[in-house]
Amino acid sequence: MDAFYREEIGVGHALLLAKLQSDSRNGRLALCFKEDWSAGGQKAKRILLPVRSLQFWIESNILLVLKLAPFDKRDAQLVPAAGSCVELPQADRA
């Protein structure tokens, strides 16, 4: 984590990025920042976003994407009490 050693990001950001697979980690550093062009300069100012913003993005776009899950989604025995992911029971309607 070069960005951590250069003190561009903190421990929280570095830990979240380190947990990603290397192919997911590449280019994810940019998600830690937002660009602010309001100063009217030739170059945007990089503002470090809160750790929870990066965590939310990772959960929403990597961890909770069922089609990318590394297990067989049709396997009803993976968690027998839950059944398979493709045969989700309908919610009871009152």
Q: Is 92 within the bounds of a domain?
A: no
Question: How many CB atoms neighbour CB 85 within 10 A?
Answer: 17
Burial group, residue 84, by CB count within 10 angstroms (0-12, 13-18, 19+): middle
Residue 7's pLDDT band, with cuts at 50, 70 and 90, is very high
The number of distinct structural domains making up the chain is: 1
Q: Is 56 within the bounds of a domain?
A: yes
Domain that holds residue 8: 2-68
Q: Is 18 within the bounds of a domain?
A: yes
Question: How many CB atoms neighbour CB 61 within 10 A?
Answer: 13
Q: Is 14 within the bounds of a domain?
A: yes
Q: Is 60 within the bounds of a domain?
A: yes
pTM over 0.85: no
Q: Is 85 within the bounds of a domain?
A: no
Q: Is 48 within the bounds of a domain?
A: yes
Q: Is 45 within the bounds of a domain?
A: yes
Run of H or E residues at 8: none
Task: Please identify which residue in the block is written with the tokens 């250069």.
Answer: 6
Average pLDDT over residues 23-44: 80
Residue 89's pLDDT band, with cuts at 50, 70 and 90, is low
